[in-house]
Amino acid sequence: SSAMVVRVEGQTINPEIRKTEEKVVDSVVVTELSKPLTAYCRCWRSGTFPLCDGGHVKHNKATGDNVGPLLLKKQ
């Protein structure tokens, strides 16, 4: 069977992961990285996808969601 995911403005992206946290952000420390910090979007709202442009703030406010970016940090 095939599944189709439909994302509708105003709906939450994250129905169940770590909902007690204000914003779900994860970090990965890497040794080889051209920039000290790179943030990858996990809310699907970024205008610069796959990079985070801060659009999750508006999405979280509008929906009560708590999504945040994945941060890659240079060691």
Phi–psi pair at 29, nearest 5 degrees: -95, 125
What sign has the CA pseudo-torsion 67, 69, 9, 57? positive
Please tell me whether residue 60 binds ligand FES under the rule CB under 6 A. no
Segment interacting with ligand FES (CB under 6 A) among 1-9, 15-23, 30-38, 61-69: 61-69
The secondary structure of residue 51, as a DSSP letter, is B
The residue among 53 and 63 lying less far from ligand FES, judged by its C-beta, is 53
Q: Scan residues 13-52 and list those touching ligand FES (CB under 6 A).
A: 41-43, 45-46, 52
The answer to whether 64 and 27 are in contact (CB under 8 A) is no
Residues that bind ligand FES (CB under 6 A): 41-43, 45-46, 52-56, 67-69
